[in-house]
Chains A and B, each alone.
Chain A
Amino acid sequence: MSVLLTPETTFIVQGITGREAVNLTRECLDYGSRVVGGVTPGRKGREVHGVPVFDTVGQAVEHHGSQIDGSVVTVPPAFTKDAVIEALDNGIKLVVIVTERIPRGDVAEMVEYADRQGARIIGPNCLGLIAPGICKMGGIGGPAKDAEKAYEPGVVGVMSRSGGMTTEISSTLTAAGLGVSTAISIGGDAIIGSTYAELMPFFEADEQTEAIVIYSEPGGRMEAQLAEWVRENDSRLPIVAFMAGKFMDDEEMQGMSFGHAGTIVEGKEDSATEKIARLEEAGIRVVERIDEIPEAVREGVSK
């Protein structure tokens, strides 16, 4: 029916009193998501759009009376690691990290900690995830009415290193009548909690999902890892990939940085051209244009 989220999914927002977090809370509530609490140290007793604010995650769990499923973390980079580990130690199993510019060592620590607890991190530097008509966790898609317009329930699982492009691609799939099963903004950093390959098993197990679309950029080994996963697992899901940033391959663009933090190209294998070759070798269809995606998905599904 969807990936990682259900209609019953409960979550908190850490750093809920920040400007962006207040908007995000409003959007999620309007969409019908169950935001059961917020945490900002020193602000206990306040409310954000009717959501009670606590000093600690433990207080939020106690107030809720049972386990809370997730947390959206929007605290500044220097405090993110502590906030995430607080959530994990309070039994939270799905953490979306919105914060940008967190040092890589902190991200790696949080991810290893989550692994040991059997928990999952999405992000950092992401907009969260949405199961259309079921739950929106994070700023993905924006205000509820905009999210409804771009994301209709359907058959395609979307994973994207760009938050904005998650919505652009999903909107294209919605307009084509294919719709989206679950869309995940996985984050634009060099090290993230959940890569394409790590999320594939969830989509594989989801009956609603019939195909996968990924948005990809230069930098990192995430696409090579996906190509490997595809070769090793006899997946039922056709995958369509879109690769942005081909212009960065040009000789005269070398050494310049564009887009997300993760797009820094360290070796030749990280370039767009190399990645496209890697994905195609594994049987993944790579399209040149976003508007070619629906057709490619249909062809993949009918094979």
Chain B
Amino acid sequence: MRFFEFEARRIVEQAGIPVTSYGFCTTPDEAREAAAEIGGPTVVKSQVLTGGRMKAGGVKFADTPDEAAAHAEEILKLEINGHMPRGVLVDPKAEVKQEYYAGVVWDGTAKKPLMLFSDMGGIDIEQVAEEHPDHVGRGHISNLDPVFDFQAKEVIAATGVTGSQLNRATPILARLAELFRDGDMLLAEINPLAELTDGRFVALDAHMEMEDEATGRQAELLREKLGIAEDDTRDTYVPSEFERRVKAIDAADHRGVIQGKDHNFDGNLGLVIGAGGGSLTLTDAVRSQGGKPANYSEIGGNPSVAKACGLAKEVLQKDGVEKIAVMMSIVSNTRVDIVARGVIKACLELGRDPSEAIAVFRIPGAWEDEGARILDHYGVEYYDRSVSLWDAAGRAVEKVQGAS
């Protein structure tokens, strides 16, 4: 789950990291008020979950409250990379002496959070790491022990920063590491972390992302401290009609799991396939042999006949689908006969002859003899484990192309 800048700032603020006093506004009037309260020059920033705000005109400077209101009016209407802003943030225009970067990410190889610091802030950290590796400090923290300030100090000192700058930045990076761990974050970044002309360090912009698996246990932070509604998932992905229908079929029955995706798939071969790894392998095998999948899908966890039937029906009814291929790697939990019953039922209910609509059925494993018996009865081309995933996919491609 991604956070807007105004939320990310609140998160760092609550962790004891200094920020400038800012206002989150959803109308030009609110922006005028916030700017008046701040007094002096301000910056008005679009609150969108996408990068490149500056370039798109989503960040503007104002000298007066009226100017801030005018900018807010414009920015509130400005779409950036397909995103409409949630509001604007009105921030005092900071007198910056130097910009730094402070961040924490997961290191999957070390299996520990990794602190990052650079004295070249304001730009992408990947770019700094590539062009000026000696300006990036790195250090892991334990998942079990407390975060010690000296660990943050070592990371910062490695970039050559010393003096009062080192002493002021150290607790900020350490607190950021703590909030990363405590808040189940995937990313916690302050960029820029600014040293003001008066010597203070403040977070001028922050990016935070929380792991979806942890949003349940972070309810206190999300609901009470940030006031984020439960249905506000920030998911920018807009599901297709097919995707929504498959999801509804899946939700209607707790047995097994089905998933369907068809964004940017527009072929003539419908795929009723599984599970995680098998689906990836089979989609590749169809495409590598010149086939055009109409969708991606996953079946797993032993779905009911109704569920298998529901998925097959949705796939069969997709525009342009001529045949479906029902294929899985060897199953031990999902039952072959149940999937067979489901897909045959789908054909019959749509008035299609299973032997014609199902290009191939290749699911070996649990209850395969019973499955074979059913498929045989309807004349469906059935393959067991002696036929590879590649060959089964190739056969399906051959049949659907012969048919067109």
Contact = CB atoms under 8 A, between A and B. Distances in A.
Interface of A: 77-78, 101-105, 107-109, 111-113, 116, 139-143, 146-147, 150, 160-165, 167-168, 171-172, 175, 188, 190-191, 195, 215, 217, 220-222, 225, 242, 244-248, 250, 252-253, 255-256, 258-260, 263, 288-291
23 contacts: A101-B213, A104-B213, A105-B184, A139-B332, A142-B365, A146-B332, A147-B332, A160-B277, A164-B274, A164-B329, A164-B332, A165-B278, A167-B330, A188-B277, A191-B111, A195-B109, A246-B284, A256-B264, A258-B279, A258-B280, A259-B276, A259-B279, A289-B390
A38 B64 CA distance: 70
A247 B284 CA distance: 6
Contact of B390 (A111, A253, A290): A290
A108 B211 contact: no
A139 B288 contact: no
A142 B366 contact: yes
Interface stretch (B191-199, B317-325, B381-389): B381-389
B261 interface: yes
Contacts of A107: 111
B183 to A, nearest CB: 9
Of B108, B142, B264, B274, most A-chain CB atoms within 10 Å: B108
A77 B214 CA distance: 10
Contacts of B281: 165, 242, 244, 290
Contacts of A164: 274-278, 300, 328-332
A140 B388 CA distance: 20
B277 A260 contact: yes
A225 B110 CA distance: 10
Nearest to B236: A255
Contacts of A221: 108-109
A103 B278 contact: no
A168 B329 contact: yes
Contacts of A102: 213
Residue from B142, B144, B288 with most neighbouring chain A CB atoms (10 Å): B144
Given A146-B366, A167-B332, A290-B389, A112 B111 contact: yes
Interface in B266-295: 274-281, 283-285, 287-288
Given A142-B333, A162-B277, A164-B328, A175 B264 contact: no
Interface string B195-212: 000000000000000010
A123 to B, nearest CB: 13
A157 B390 CA distance: 22
B244 interface: no
Nearest to A261: B213
B184 A103 contact: yes
Contacts of A172: 388
Contacts of B284: 244-247
Contacts of B278: 162, 164-165, 168
B186 interface: yes
Contacts of A291: 388-391
A276 B211 CA distance: 28
Nearest to A251: B264
The 8 A-B residue pairs with the shortest CB-CB distance, nearest first, are A142-B332, A162-B277, A168-B329, A291-B388, A244-B280, A165-B277, A252-B264, A245-B280
B386 A175 contact: yes
A168 B385 CA distance: 8
Contacts of B217: 78, 103
Given A104-B211, A113-B144, A171-B385, A139 B333 contact: yes
Contacts of B328: 164
B332 A168 contact: no
Given A78-B217, A104-B106, A289-B388, A168 B287 contact: no
A112 B107 CA distance: 13
Given A256-B237, A259-B277, A263-B280, 8 more contacts: A112-B144, A142-B333, A142-B366, A191-B111, A258-B280, A259-B276, A260-B276, A288-B288
B215 to A, nearest CB: 9
Contacts of B22: none
A247 B293 CA distance: 11
B283 A247 contact: yes
A111 B108 CA distance: 12
A259 B263 CA distance: 15
Nearest to A293: B388
Contact of A161 (B108, B277, B391): B277
B276 A162 contact: yes
B181 interface: yes
Contacts of A103: 184, 211, 213-214, 217
Contacts of B100: none
Interface in B128-157: 142-144
Contacts of B285: 289
Contacts of B101: none
A80 B278 CA distance: 27
Contacts of B366: 142-143, 146
Given A258-B261, A259-B298, A289-B285, A244 B213 contact: no
